[in-house]
Structure 1
Amino acid sequence: MTVRKQYTKEFKLDAISLVLDQGCTATEVSRNLEINASMLRRWIREYQQDDAGQAFRGNGKLTLEQEEIRKLKIRIKRLEMEKRILKEATVFFAKETK
Structure 2
Amino acid sequence: MSDKQVRAQYTREFKQEAVRQVRSGQAIAVVAKVLGIPKASLGNWVRLSAKGELDGAGGGDKSIQVSPEQMEIARLRAENARLRMERDIAKKAAAYFAQDTLRGTPGFTK
TM-score (norm 1): 0.52
Aligned length: 57
**Unpaired segments ≥5 residues, structure 1:** 62-98
Q: CA 1:3–1:26 in 2, change beyond 3 Å: closer, same or farther? A: same
- CA distance, structure 1, for counterparts of residue 42 and residue 18 of structure 2: 8
Pairwise CA distance, 1:55: 2.4
What secondary structure is seen at the aligned counterpart in 2 of 1:39?
helix
1:29-40 maps to which residues of 2 (within 5 A)? 29-40=31-42
Q: CA 1:49–1:32 in 2, change beyond 3 Å: closer, same or farther? A: same
Structure 1 residues 17-40: Cα deviation after superposition (integer angstroms, max 9, x where no partner)? 0010x2110000000011111110
Structure 1 residues 26-68: Cα deviation after superposition (integer angstroms, max 9, x where no partner)? 0000000111111101000000012xxx52144389xxxxxxx
Higher relative contact order (CA 8 A, sep 6+): 2
Identity of aligned residues (%): 32
1:10 and 2:16 correspond: no
- CA distance, structure 2, for counterparts of residue 5 and residue 19 of structure 1: 20
What secondary structure is seen at the aligned counterpart in 1 of 2:54?
coil
- CA distance, structure 1, for counterparts of residue 46 and residue 22 of structure 2: 8
- The runs of at least 4 aligned residues of structure 1 exceeding 3 Å deviation read 57-61
- CA-based RMSD: 2.0
TM-score (norm 2): 0.47
- Paired residue for 1:55? 54
Is the 2:32–2:39 Cα contact (8 Å) retained in structure 1? yes
Q: Which of structures 1 and 2 has the bigger CA Rg?
A: 1
Q: CA 1:57–1:11 in 2, change beyond 3 Å: closer, same or farther? A: closer
